[in-house]
Amino acid sequence: MSDDKRFYLTTPIYYVNDVPHIGHAYTTLACDVMARYKRARGYEVFFATGTDEHGQKVEKAAHAKGETPLELADRVVKRFQALWEKLNISNTDFIRTSQERHKQAVQKMFRTIEAKGDIYLGEYEDWYCTPCETFWTETNLLDGNCPDCGRPTDKLKEESYFFRMSKYQEQMLAHIEANPDFIQPKTRRNEILSFLREGLRDLSISRTTFSWGIPVPDNEKHVIYVWFDALTNYISTLGYPNDSDGNFNKFWPCDVHVIGKDILRFHTVYWPTFLLAAGIPLPKKVFAHGWWTVEGQKMSKSLANVVEPNMLIDKYGVDAIRYFLLREVPFGLDGDFSHSALVHRINSDLANDLGNLVSRSTAMLSKYFKGELTTPGEATDIDKVLQDKFIRQIGVVDEQMEALAFNKALQSIWELVRAANKYIDDSAPWTLAKDDNQRERLGTVMYNLLEAIRLISLLVTPFMPETGAKICTILGIDPKDQQLDKHDTWGLLQPGTMVEKAAPLFPRIET
């Protein structure tokens, strides 16, 4: 397999002091769709996710519950893993920062950068926001509170190891300027460029005030700063530094780190400068998506409005949720979750447009041909228009997927669904069926429809794997034999195939 047929993508690793909600599900889901799409396009994919388990925040949360931090982590990790299974997430690995393999990687990174002379011991005094695990200068604070979350900060003075981040300011600026796609979307890139132009300070990368973390090599009084620790997951999951399975060599540099907009700076300044110092190539792209509010409000425990994905999946089905989250909001912008919007999407796009297309078409084939596909006759103009539109649109969807424009890709696929529904209305099979001389034409119309449905099933599979497989089975094909890069041309359905009359794919939801 050539290098360009490999793809490595990551989700952030999730804190274990919180249980998974719709925001976490969103990042992971977007990555899953991309991973499935790339596999369908013939790529060997490494899709990494996991949990961020160290730090004062987790230590505090554990103590409050009378648990050790590891007990807390073990318990919460299961919730994440169970949710990913339920959401049909196809991750390659699940890294926990409490694992020995990860500790090895973090300590190796630390040693490598230290050996280069870019880590030194000093003293730290600044304002610390524990919930955000972030230090702020006096001028950053808003009325003495954290500028990100608004909560109170504590003044901390401690001996600390520092990373010479300031040394890399120019190099980072030059990299971002020379690689316009490195940070996406563009607005985020501008945000980071202006941050860098203001100058970089050296970064405190160890703590002595708590112990739940990875010790600094040869100075166990210090634990390594949780972000230095967490960001290294992107290479520890690949087997850095020993690389016994060869994955680091094979998949690094990463094709895309998908993150939320709140953790942009860590991924586009801290992480790349650590890598520059360690002499490791930089990731190719960091894509920051927006945040979900709920019924117009910020999601928060105190408002008791946290949307719990398990409950949504039980109520509406996993594919409906997968579809909704990626269709509703342009990837990169903020969005609002509301039950009415969800129900509207399910009823109009899934039950009406897609569901009806499949049930109408298979019902007609069953009625007119006892479910058997016939050999299509010569293509008429409207047949050619339909075929051309499908072939062209597959290319459009490909470009949109490459740009992580999931909502646009779904819109493009739904243009095909609507074109196929319109083809039924325009060719009026029920009229053709009344005339024996039109038997071949009727067979051609039915063939074209089912071929259109086959291509739609290929395109929706990364978004809705169960639905895609269900449609294939209805069409008498084994879903395993359908792969986008090999089967995206028109006319592959075999005449003589028996097609099932489909039960509704998505029942309408009564409000």
* Candidates 213-221, 259-267, 342-350, 447-455; binding stretch for ligand MSP (CB under 6 A): 259-267
Is residue 355 near ligand MSP by the rule CB under 6 A?
no
Among 262, 295, 353, 415, binds ligand MSP (CB under 6 A): 262
Give 111 or 261: the residue with its C-beta nearer to ligand MSP: 261
Q: Hunting for tokens 């050996």 — which residue is that?
A: 115
* Candidates 13-21, 140-148, 366-374, 452-460; binding stretch for ligand MSP (CB under 6 A): 13-21
Distance, CA of 20 to CA of 89 (rounded, Å): 14
Distance, CA of 156 to CA of 130 (rounded, Å): 11
* Candidates 9-17, 140-148, 161-169, 453-461; binding stretch for ligand MSP (CB under 6 A): 9-17
Among 32, 52, 59, 488, binds ligand MSP (CB under 6 A): 52
Query: Could you give the count of Cα atoms lying within 13 Å of 427 in the half-sphere of its Cβ?
Result: 28
Is residue 14 near ligand MSP by the rule CB under 6 A?
yes
Give 148 or 415: the residue with its C-beta nearer to ligand MSP: 148
Classify residue 384 by its DSSP letter: H
Is residue 283 near ligand MSP by the rule CB under 6 A?
no
Among 89, 259, 346, 456, binds ligand MSP (CB under 6 A): 259
Minimal distance, residue 14 CB to ligand MSP, in Å: 4
Is residue 230 near ligand MSP by the rule CB under 6 A?
yes
Burial (CB < 10 A; 0-12, 13-18, 19+), residue 226, is buried
Among 94, 195, 210, 291, binds ligand MSP (CB under 6 A): 291
Closest-by-Cβ residue to ligand MSP is 260
Closest by Cα among 374, 364, 51 to 229: 51
CB proximity list for 25: less than 8 A, separation 6 or greater: 83, 87, 309, 321, 325
Distance, CA of 460 to CA of 308 (rounded, Å): 25
Binding mask 294-323 for ligand MSP (x = CB under 6 A): -----x------------------------
* Candidates 11-19, 59-67, 166-174, 490-498; binding stretch for ligand MSP (CB under 6 A): 11-19
**55: phi > 0 → left, psi -120 to 50 → alpha, else beta; which?**
left
Closest by Cα among 218, 158, 227 to 15: 227
How distant is the alpha carbon of residue 134 from its chain centre?
Answer: 25
Among 23, 185, 376, 468, binds ligand MSP (CB under 6 A): 23
CB proximity list for 154: less than 8 A, separation 6 or greater: 127, 128, 130
Among 7, 8, 9, 26, binds ligand MSP (CB under 6 A): 26
Q: In what order do the strands lie in the sheet with 119-129?
A: 134-136, 119-129, 154-163, 203-204
Is residue 325 near ligand MSP by the rule CB under 6 A?
no
Minimal distance, residue 259 CB to ligand MSP, in Å: 5
CB 73 within 8 A of CB 99: no
Is residue 27 near ligand MSP by the rule CB under 6 A?
yes
Which residues are at the interface with ligand MSP (CB under 6 A)?
12-15, 23-24, 26-27, 52, 230-231, 233, 259-260, 262-263, 291-292, 299
